[in-house]
Chains A and B, each alone.
Chain A
Amino acid sequence: MNISRNAMEVATALVTALVGALICYGAMENGIGWTESGPKPGYFPFGIGCLIVAGSVATLVQVGWKSMAARPAGEADSLVPFIDGQGLRTLAAFFLPIAVMTAISFWLGLYIGMALYIFYAMRFAAGFRIHNALLTAIIVVAVNFVVFEKLFMVPLLKGPILEYFGIY
């Protein structure tokens, strides 16, 4: 699956325009007008939302203009790829485990999420042997535990398993 740069430009501008519209909508709930004591809380965000929509539309026009201009000249510009299928897969292989780790951490705490993620990444992405990957995961968790719980005294989310073992 190849995504061209032009398609991505248009998609991004549409998304930002949508976000702008959403901001305008959200701001209207706070009131965008004036009272005796000055602007209502939604006044400033509403203006921001409008400017986002305007900027996005202008970007769309600019992209359209450029691809129209490029078309007679051999369509070179409109076919510049943004990302190809291979790149997309590599990207997902890196990003999805992080998202999975976050979801697991919600449930089992950050230390366990972190350990599983590091083990997975070292074993499968970096190609470590199982015991080396395991060792790396343990070291990372230990270092983080000392740094955050002991040095900076910022407790990270523990989750039910660590709490069962009396680690708060």
Chain B
Amino acid sequence: MGNFGQLMDGFAIALTTQHVMIMVLGVLLGLVVGVLPGLGAPNGVSLLLPLTFTMDPISAIILLTSMYWGALFGGSTTSILFNIPGEPSSVATTFDGHPMAKQGEAVRALTLAFTSAGIGALVGVLVITLLSSWVANFALRFGSPEYFAVYFMAFASFIGMAGSSPFKTLVSIMLGFAVATVGMDTISGEGRLTFGLGELSNGISFLIVVIGLFGIGELLLTIDEGYKFEGVKAKLKLSTIFRTLAEMPRYWVTIVRSALIGCWMGITPGGPTAASFMSYALGRRFSRRGKYFGKGEPEGIVAPETADHSAGSCALLPMLALGVPGSATAAVMMGGLMIWGLNPGPMLFSTRPDFVWGLIASMYAGNLIAVVLVLATVPLFAFILRAPFTVVGPLIAIICVIGAYTVANHMFDIWLALIFGIVGYAFKKLDYPLAPFVLAVVLGDKAEDAFRQSMLSSGGSLNIFFETPLVATMMAIGFLLLLLPFIGRLFGALLGKGNAAEARDGRPA
């Protein structure tokens, strides 16, 4: 229990008045950033990073991580109230969170989301506390084939568990990968798929894709469906909050399952987005009320939120212990660590234990502060909900347009976002899943690098993905998931044929 003593020292560092103030400030900034689509956590953290250079590293990292928690919570707020995910990782929360809010239970949906998010985050931090020194040894065994297998599993689960056509899911994923390959190739330095357009040589940011597909696409869909933001009475009643809190223990199976998925996906670089979707898909499969998912089912909110936040916090574990960030935001923070003169990796635990354990202790406190603050700001967002859509729509459109611009200060990005908006509208209406698209854009480079590095080390033989028991098991699970719809259809067809044959035989000749 050496870690426990160090954690107590960490609390002594994190719970000074100054650091608690920094946490409150960070969470509030994060909420703003998380609520605005386009100003996501990675983006917000990078905007804030230059301001921290003069601070001492512990205060700086507490500010940035608190902002991260705030952004994660803020993303869920807009998912539920507006059906616009502030973050790619909160997309899965829209599936059940928004329908529940539309049914007039906005406060219940928000409370469910925030408490399960809080539980998920605390589980994640607990995992970091217990495992941080041990996990370094395990994950050191991960080579590029294992990384590729992890990505493969994530995408195979999309195809296998998709509600719609597996071919549409395939097209969606591959289009995402294609978007990710645009621009400079990380290995050879060549420009790819730019078709001579200079604007494309820096690649297409996943933020542009998200703003287009989810922001603008969703706006168009809302216009098309003629749905107006109705005056949902989301009055923050304490009794509703407490009743929902009392409801939570009922979902313990979902919480445990989702937290496990989240921790696994956060530590391996699947990230919070993959974790929330996988948890939602598995929740739909295994829950007794799975067929009600998508219509405002509580477990459909609990599952992605718990996984999202446990993955979000666990994503910091490999960053600290190995120097391999588990998410985009963690990558930005890692850049910060190096600017502050710290060297992320196993050595950090022995050279700057005050930093590591101060940070870990601040995660407990920061998440508790975030839950309280996010509940306190709900009336503000509920107020916005009362405005008619003809007023709110253009304002959201402005936020999307400016958000697209601020990603890289390129006007061209706005056009791209508008194009992705039309794509998002058409795809959504034709039941092409959008989430795997975004995930593929985010993970595309990493998946390709893992694939190419494995190919380099094996000399072009695919056998490398089946050489060790670890990687072979992961690949086998992946293939099983991939074939799931075909196996299902085969059985269905056989049974269907049987029925048809019976009917024909039964008919008088």
Give A contacts to B, CB under 8 Å. 5, 8-9, 12, 16, 19-20, 22-23, 26-27, 30, 34, 37-45, 48-49, 51-52, 54-56, 58-59, 62, 82-83, 87, 90-91, 94-95, 98-99, 101-102, 105-106, 110, 114, 117-118, 121-122, 125-127, 140, 144, 148, 152-157
Q: A94-B223, A156-B406 are in contact. Are A30 and B452 (CB under 8 A)?
A: no
Secondary structure at the A interface, as helix, strand, loop or mixed, is helix
Separation of A38 and B146 alpha carbons in the complex (Å)? 19
**Which B residues are CB-close (under 8 A) to A56?**
167, 171
B56 → chain A, closest Cβ, in Å? Answer: 22
**Nearest Cβ on chain B to A101's Cβ, whole angstroms:** 7
Q: Mark B212-251, 1 if CB is under 8 A from A, else 0.
A: 0000100110011010000000000000000000000000
CA distance A41 to B406 in the complex (A): 30
Q: Assuming A48-B181, A52-B175, A157-B411, is B192 touching A39 (CB within 8 A)?
A: no
Task: Give the total of B residues in contact with A, Cβ under 8 Å.
Answer: 55
| Inter-chain contact A51/B165, CB cutoff 8 Å | no
Q: Which chain A positions have C-beta within 8 A of B220?
A: 91, 94-95
In the complex, the answer to whether B178 meets A52 with C-beta atoms within 8 Å is yes
With a 10 A CB-CB cut-off, give which of A87, A95, A118, A127 has the most chain B CB atoms: A95
In the complex formed, the residue of A with least CB distance to B388 is A126
List B contacts of A90 (CB < 8 A).
Answer: 223-224, 226
Given A59-B165, A87-B224, also A154-B418 (CB < 8 A):
no
Query: Majority SS of interface residues in chain B?
Result: helix
Complex CA distance for A19 and B419, rounded to whole angstroms: 14
> Across the interface, which residues of B come within 8 angstroms of A27, CB to CB?
192-193
For B417, the closest partner residue in chain A by CB is A102
CB <8 Å contact, A98 and B165: no
Indicate if the CB atoms of A91 and B223 lie closer than 8 Å. yes
Contact present for B451 and A110 (CB under 8 Å): no
Contact residues in B for A144 (Cβ distance below 8 Å): 398, 402
Question: Which residue of the partner chain B has the closest CB to A98?
Answer: B397
Contact between chains at A52 and B171 (CB < 8 Å): yes
- A51 adjacent to B174 (CB under 8 Å): yes
How long is the Cα–Cα vector from A12 to B426 in the complex, in angstroms? 8
Chain A: which residue is nearest B412 at the CB level?
Answer: A106
